[in-house]
Amino acid sequence: MKLRVLGCSGGIGNNLHTTSFLIDHDLLIDAGTGVNGLSLAELRNIDHVFITHSHMDHICNLPLLLDSVAEVRTRPVIVYATESILEILKQHIFNWKIWPDFSQIPSLAQPVMRYQSIELGEVIDLQGRKITALPAVHTVPAVGYHIDSGQASLVFTGDTYVNDSLWTVVNQFSNLRYLIIETAFADDEIELAILSLHLCPKLLAGELAKFTGHADIFITHLKPYKSELIMSEIEAALSRFLPKKLLHDQVFTF
C-alpha cells in the first residue's frame, strides 16, 4: 500500500496545500486543496473518499472533484464518514444552494456520488486494505483513520485535541509503522488551540506521553507562518520521540 501526501498544511500560499492523502490510485483521505495537484486521469480513478470532518480545509475540493469527473464515471464515488459528518455535508454543502447534490444526479439510480455511513471502530475492507475510523475530539464531529495493509499500518489522527480514547485504541496496534498527528498552533497560542480544539507542542507532548507503542511520527496541519517555530518547540518539548514535519508529496509505503 502506498500513501502520497497531496496536502498537509494548516493553510495555503507558497505552494502549500491543505489536507488530502492519496492511497494507491483510487482512495482519498480528505479532499482539501491538495487534490488540485491531481490530473484529470488521476481524479477519474478515485473511487473512495474518507472524510475526517466537515471543515473547509478538509473537504473544499470534494465538490469540484465530483463535478470534474461526473461525465466520465461509470460508477459512483463513495464518500465515507460517520452519519453526523455526512449529515453536515448534506445540509451545508450538497444542498443545491452551495453545490448540487451529486447523490441525486444525473439520477437517483446512477448518481455520481454515494454516501456510506461508518461507525467508530468499524473496519472497511477494500481489497485487503482495511480502513478504520478512530475517535477524535474537535469542534465538529470528527474522526481519525487507521489504515492497515495487513503487513503494516498508519494512523492519521485528523484534527483533534486531548483525546484519551484515541490512545486506548492506537496502543493496541501491533503493526503500527507511522503516526501522523496534528499540531496546528505554537505554544504562545495555547488558548487558541484549546478554544479551537487543536494541539500545540505542549499539548502534543502530553498526548504522546500516552502512546506506548513504536512508530515514526510526523506532524501535520502546521500553520504556515509558524511552522518552523512549532517544530522547534516540539523538538524542545519531547525527549522520547523525534517527530518530523510532514511534507507535501511525501510517500509512505507499508
pLDDT digits (tens, 9 = 90+) for 33-55: 999 999 999 999 999 999 999 99
Total number of domains in the chain = 1
Per-residue confidence (pLDDT) for residue 239, from 0 to 100: 84
Per-residue confidence (pLDDT) for residue 17, from 0 to 100: 98
**3-class DSSP state for residue 29?**
strand
Query: Could you list the residue range(s) of the whole structural domain that residue 186 is in?
Result: 2-253
The pTM of this model reads 0.97
Cis peptide, bond prior to residue 63, ω within 30 of zero: no
CA nearest 139: which of 203, 52, 211?
52
CA dihedral 183, 251, 225, 215 (to 10 degrees): 30
Question: In CATH, what number is assigned to the domain containing residue 26?
Answer: 3.60.15.10
Residue 128, phi-psi category: left (phi > 0), alpha (psi -120 to 50), beta (remainder):
left
Cell numbers of 112, please? Answer: 455520481
Spans of the chain, pLDDT less than 50: none
Per-residue confidence (pLDDT) for residue 94, from 0 to 100: 98
- The DSSP call for residue 141 is S
pLDDT tens for each residue of 179-214: 999 999 999 999 999 999 999 999 999 999 999 999
Per-residue confidence (pLDDT) for residue 37, from 0 to 100: 95
Q: Name the strand (E) or helix (H) holding 46.
A: none
Residue 186, phi-psi category: left (phi > 0), alpha (psi -120 to 50), beta (remainder):
beta
CB atoms within 10 A of CB 195: 10
